[in-house]
Chain A
Amino acid sequence: MRILALIKYSMDVAEVKVDPATKELRLAGVPEKIGAIDKNVAEAAVQLKEANGAALQALCLGPLAATDSFKDVLAMGLDEVFLVEDPFAGAADGRVAACILEAAIRKLGQFDLILCGFASDDGYSYQVAPRLAERLGLPLVSYGRQLKVSDGQLEAERDLEDGLQAVSVSLPALASIAEEAYPPRRTTLMEAIKAKKKPVNVWHVEPDLGLVRNELEKLSSIESSSQVGVMIQRKQRMLKTATLRESADQLIDLLLEEKVLKGGSK
């Protein structure tokens, strides 16, 4: 069996600050790492590998700077990573990104199961799984939990707003992993040492994938884009008192002043 995990090297969006004067997003220097959602994908893939026996490769579309970030997921049990250098540095339209991923998947050959996150930690636009399902003509189990493979079938639960839907599809198939569905394991020192020997292969869209940057650009449906940050004005006042009882009273006093509470005496 062959499993492919799609993982993303993501920006920590909680660290994105907004310039109060210009409303500009300050993206420079924001830390990047393999996303929390993607570590759940790696865990799901490793569990399926353990249960069924499989070769487990991972694919990442991202910057060359991601090369050193795969240690953890390799230690968890991925066999090998393919990093496709993103010629658009994260700014590509979803369609363009899906086109690059599709080309890389086709080059890697036939997989029984392809896993990805329901969204990425930074883009958070839920596009990759449905777009790849369309492009690769594969059945998709979206928002999956409790994945099981048997007799050429993938069984899973889809985690929806108001319930869990039990589904199955025939392999080969694609599944997106629901939020927090597979908390990543802790790895041992031995696993970390072994991971250093596992290959991280770097591909470029030209020539490795036979794609041409200019042609990819034409696929984008966006002519131009601009962005601003969303400003949140909060008082950010920390209550500092000797005892928690005093904090409770102080908080009540403040909320009385704010007129969201009323009544009472000291």
Chain B
Amino acid sequence: MNSQAILVFSEDADLLKELVSGAKQGTKAQDWRIAAVGVGKEASALANLGEDVLYQVDVDVHNPELLTAALEAAARKVEPSIVLVGATKLGLEVAPRIAERLAAGYAAWATGFEVASGTEGAKVMAQSMIFAGVGIATHTFKAGPVVLSVARGIFDSRQVDGKQAEVVVLDTPLPAPKLTIHGYRPKAMNGGRLAQARFVVDVGQGVKERDDLQITQALANLLDGQLSCSRPMSADRDWFPEWVGLSGAKIKPELCVTVGVSGAVQHIIGIRDSHLIVAVNMDEGAPIFSQADYGVVADLYEFLPLLIERISARGIRPAWAT
């Protein structure tokens, strides 16, 4: 192993594009080869992201064992110094598995990397978020391959060039998976475009009943915004799948009003790029207040109706409204 090559995989086409772009930018001085892994019969559509070669594997994208095996097969061919894996739930399972199989170094939640040529082959340094985003570590890895998982939005997905990659069908026989999949029940998605929203009402566990989302939605509607939520709400209560956080969406609105959000670190990382953060919470000691520009200690059921009433009565609009 340890050639001047990067192997890139994500089942999410947008994230894959970001990873190819990041791979290109991180190695352009050395002109490394970039190999991507695309899954499914339609994968050849991914041959224009800027990679040099696309390995097409036709496996069930929902089975982590099969994807691990496919990625391992591609890695055995490419012998990459770096494997970039999109940090989705699937990727976060596949990446450590690959690291074990390749006896490779691994950093989760990578935010960047550098490569340098050394006598023992390429030397990899990588930055990654640690302690759920409280800090950033810089690791210098020993010689040998390194696997990095990278979340959405870390690398920009600038189109590298219009070149068409060579498409190689990877038909290595894969072992029968031990996991049997019986069915899939999609979560109801609201279809909100959180990443682009300029105003977001971020709802936390302080909102008790599903019907109470009406009041937060009313505030969002009033200022032409979107609702988002902290992850326990979406994972546990099944109302609200589009959560914001370390492994979820990251938002960067002009204004983020958190309502009943306690301020868990894993969630804060999803909102901390907001221009302004307002926190409304009953608990004066809630950690969210140290992450906010303006804090109001109040029962959201009392405060939000008043805020809505005052915004309406005063004829207030978002600054970007036409």
* Residues of chain A having any CB pair with chain B under 8 Å: 11, 13-14, 16, 18, 25, 93-95, 98, 121-127, 129-131, 133-135, 139-143, 157, 159-170, 178-181, 183, 220-230, 232, 234-239, 244-245, 247-249, 251-252, 254-256, 258-266
In the docked arrangement, what's the CA distance between A134 and B178, Å? Answer: 12
Measured between C-beta atoms, what is the minimum distance from B192 to chain A in Å?
13
Q: Which residue of B lies closest to A165 (CB)?
A: B184
Number of residues in B with C-beta < 8 Å to the partner?
93
A251 touching B181, Cβ below 8 Å:
no
Instruction: Name the prevailing secondary structure of the A interface residues.
Output: mixed
A163-B187, A164-B187, A236-B293 known; A179-B303 Cβ under 8 A:
no
Distance in angstroms between the alpha carbons of A11 and B265 in the assembled complex:
12
Give A19 to B30 CA distance when docked, in angstroms.
37
Q: Whose C-beta in chain B lies nearest to the C-beta of A125?
A: B108
The 6 A-B pairs at the shortest CB distance, nearest first, are namely A221-B105, A139-B178, A125-B108, A264-B314, A134-B100, A180-B236
For residue B254, which residues in chain A have a CB less than 8 angstroms away from its CB? 260
A131 touches B96 (CB 8 A): yes
**Which residue from A160, A222, A265 sits with its C-beta under 8 Å from B139?**
A222
Are the C-beta atoms of B108 and A261 separated by less than 8 Å?
no
Q: Say whether B97 faces chain A, with CB atoms less than 8 Å apart.
A: yes
Residues of B within 8 A of A (CB): 62, 64-65, 88-90, 92-97, 99-101, 103-106, 108-109, 129-142, 144, 146, 178-187, 189, 199, 223, 231-232, 235-236, 241, 246, 248, 254-255, 263-266, 272, 275-278, 287, 289-298, 302-303, 306-307, 309-311, 314-319, 321
B181 touches A167 (CB 8 A): yes
B314 touches A265 (CB 8 A): yes
B185 cross-chain contacts in A, Cβ below 8 A: 157, 163-166
Shortest CB distance B223–A (Å): 8
User: Are the CB atoms of A131 and B310 closer together than 8 Å?
Assistant: no
Chain B's nearest CB lies how many Å from the CB of A125? 4
Q: How far is A225 from B128 in the complex, measured between Cα atoms in Å?
A: 11
Q: Is the CB of A262 within 8 A of B318?
A: yes
User: What's the least CB distance linking A146 to chain B, in Å?
Assistant: 11
